[in-house]
């Protein structure tokens, strides 16, 4: 006799979880919601013990921020529980339109998560993809880098405003890190961490009002954040030395992707097999929406584009139609946009490869047409992702 699985729906909050344990899907989920004995467990030892005492076979969660869900996932996985994740949009639509549950709350979400497994456990594509330990670590580190970058920008902006009247001769200097992994010279000098005869001399001749303690303290904050950034980057470089990533890095070199973009791409597209069917791109022939004629649908390519945030998504309402590229990773879209801006637009930085030449020719033609530059950059990024998919799958087939 087949064992009846115990399915745990778990809605994670900042310091607690709402839990709903089911061994079968209720016939009337809305009615069941009012009589179900939900558990609300704190994020401490007693909460973890109470959760594991439920002896679930499968736990279903939303990917609610790695920092909040990670601890619950860790203890469940160590206890032998299979952990699955459901996307936010998928759960929202499922809860509202298929279960007809009340307005969103934690208990309704935990019930919906448990019910979702009963309806879709035979369709793995309905769940968020899970990643191996290396990829999960890389994703965690690139989010840390993005966070550190966001922290630095307002501090640097405030510091430049202070320098405008305290030491105006260097207020607009674009200070970069040293080759030996040192903090940027200007910020290191202001903080008193680095020596510079150049800045000593400029300061002695400055028309400014003089550096204040608060300005030096802000420079120390920047130096501290820069050191943290360098540690994260070093850890990422060590992870990317894995031989499994060599073929990806080789293809990235053809596109002149920088280190940071390469890290982001690896975190989202590895392994490329996740987008393929039997090792090949999936292509289906369906009737066109408007023409009614047989049309090729490149499903693997579209999944690849969606993950990286460059797939066009049609939104229609009545006679209104709009095409947007807002699905997928915002971090990927931002990194690709920066790559177009820094590696393709400046003619002096363009590499002489067939792929780069093709993209730059397209970029130059679009600019001559007078189209908005932001639209052009988005289109160039989308074209680059199509070429990237082609190169990666070509390499895979070889």
Q: Report the CATH number that the domain containing residue 83 is assigned in CATH.
A: 3.30.420.110
Q: Which pTM does this prediction carry?
A: 0.81
* Residues 164 and 79 placed together within one structural domain of the fold: no
Give yes or no for residue 315 having a pLDDT over 70. Answer: no
* Domain span holding position 97: 7-126
Q: Higher pLDDT residue, 285 or 205?
A: 205
Q: Higher pLDDT residue, 317 or 243?
A: 243
Note whether residue 317 is domain-resident: no
* Residues 257 and 393 placed together within one structural domain of the fold: yes
Of 29-38, 51-60, 132-141, the least confident: 132-141
* Residues 105 and 121 placed together within one structural domain of the fold: yes
Q: What is the CATH number of the domain that holds 214?
A: 1.10.287
Of 295, 311, 291, the C-alpha closest to 303 is 311
Note whether residue 1 is domain-resident: no
Note whether residue 321 is domain-resident: no
Q: How far apart are CA 186 and CA 172, in angstroms?
A: 11
The average pLDDT across 340-356 equals 91
* Residues 92 and 217 placed together within one structural domain of the fold: no
Note whether residue 2 is domain-resident: no
Note whether residue 217 is domain-resident: yes
* Residues 393 and 263 placed together within one structural domain of the fold: yes
Q: Higher pLDDT residue, 319 or 69?
A: 69
Residues pairing with 82 in the sheet: 58
The average pLDDT across 20-32 equals 95
Q: How far apart are CA 137 and CA 375, in angstroms?
A: 33
- Both tokens of residue 11? 């809605």
Q: Higher pLDDT residue, 17 or 1?
A: 17
Tell me whether strands 58-61 and 82-85 are parallel, antiparallel or unpaired: parallel
Dihedral sign, Cα of residue 209, residue 210, residue 213, residue 214: positive
The predicted pLDDT at position 111 comes to: 96
Give yes or no for residue 316 having a pLDDT over 50. Answer: no
Of 42, 239, 74, 214, the C-alpha closest to 141 is 239
**pLDDT class for 2, splitting at 50, 70, 90?**
low
Give yes or no for residue 252 having a pLDDT over 70. Answer: yes
Note whether residue 155 is domain-resident: yes
Note whether residue 93 is domain-resident: yes
* Residues 383 and 275 placed together within one structural domain of the fold: yes
Residue range 352-374, pLDDT digits in tens: 889 999 999 999 999 999 899 98
* Residues 235 and 260 placed together within one structural domain of the fold: no
Count: domains in the chain: 3
Note whether residue 182 is domain-resident: yes
**pLDDT class for 69, splitting at 50, 70, 90?**
confident
Give yes or no for residue 392 having a pLDDT over 50. Answer: yes
* Residues 47 and 113 placed together within one structural domain of the fold: yes
* Residues 267 and 220 placed together within one structural domain of the fold: no
Residue that has been written with the tokens 């400055």 in this structure: 206
* Residues 216 and 266 placed together within one structural domain of the fold: no
8 Å CB contact between 337 and 325: no
* Residues 113 and 206 placed together within one structural domain of the fold: no
The average pLDDT across 48-73 equals 89
- Among residues 240, 257, 290, the one where a domain terminates is 240
Residues pairing with 60 in the sheet: 9, 84
The predicted pLDDT at position 278 comes to: 87
Biggest CA-to-CA distance, the chain: 88
- Among residues 126, 142, 166, the one where a domain terminates is 126
* Residues 296 and 352 placed together within one structural domain of the fold: yes
Residue range 92-149, pLDDT digits in tens: 999 988 998 876 789 999 999 999 999 999 998 899 877 778 898 999 999 999 999 9
Count CA atoms closer than 13 A to 23's CA, side-chain side.
6
- Among residues 75, 102, 126, the one where a domain terminates is 126
């Amino acid at each position: 006799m087949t064992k009846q699985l115990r399915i745990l729906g778990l809605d994670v909050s900042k310091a607690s979880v709402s839990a709903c344990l089911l061994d079968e899907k209720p016939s009337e989920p809305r009615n069941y919601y009012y009589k179900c004995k939900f558990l609300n467990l704190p994020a401490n030892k007693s909460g973890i013990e109470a959760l594991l005492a439920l002896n679930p076979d499968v736990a279903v969660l939303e990917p609610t921020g790695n920092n909040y869900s990670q601890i619950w996932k860790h203890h469940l996985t160590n206890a032998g529980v299979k952990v699955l994740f459901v996307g936010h949009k998928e759960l929202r639509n499922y809860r509202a339109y298929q279960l007809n549950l009340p307005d969103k709350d934690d208990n309704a979400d935990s019930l919906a998560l448990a019910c979702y497994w009963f309806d879709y456990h035979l369709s793995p594509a309905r769940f968020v993809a899970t990643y191996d330990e290396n990829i999960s670590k890389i994703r965690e580190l690139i989010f840390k880098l993005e966070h550190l970058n966001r922290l630095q920008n307002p501090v640097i902006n405030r510091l430049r405003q202070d320098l405008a009247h305290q030491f105006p001769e260097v207020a607009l200097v674009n200070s970069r890190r040293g080759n030996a992994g040192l903090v940027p010279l200007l910020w290191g000098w202001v903080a008193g961490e680095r020596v510079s005869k150049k800045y000593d001399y400029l300061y002695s001749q400055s028309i400014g009002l003089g550096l204040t303690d608060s300005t030096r303290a802000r420079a120390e904050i920047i130096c501290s954040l820069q050191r943290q950034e360098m540690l994260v980057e070093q850890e990422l470089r060590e992870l990317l030395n894995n031989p499994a990533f060599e073929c990806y890095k080789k293809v990235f070199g053809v596109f002149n992707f920088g280190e940071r973009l390469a890290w982001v791409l690896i975190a989202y597209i590895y392994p490329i097999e996740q987008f393929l069917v039997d090792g090949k791109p999936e292509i289906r022939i369906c009737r066109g929406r408007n023409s009614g004629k047989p049309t090729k649908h490149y499903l693997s390519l579209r999944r690849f584009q969606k993950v990286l945030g460059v797939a066009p998504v049609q939104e229609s309402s009545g006679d209104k139609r709009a095409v947007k590229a807002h699905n997928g990773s915002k971090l990927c879209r931002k990194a690709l946009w920066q790559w177009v801006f820094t590696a393709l637009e400046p003619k002096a930085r363009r590499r002489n490869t067939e792929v780069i030449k093709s993209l730059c020719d397209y970029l130059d033609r679009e600019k001559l047409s007078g189209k908005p530059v932001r639209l052009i950059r988005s289109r160039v990024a989308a074209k680059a992702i199509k070429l990237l998919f082609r190169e990666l799958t070509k390499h895979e087939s070889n």
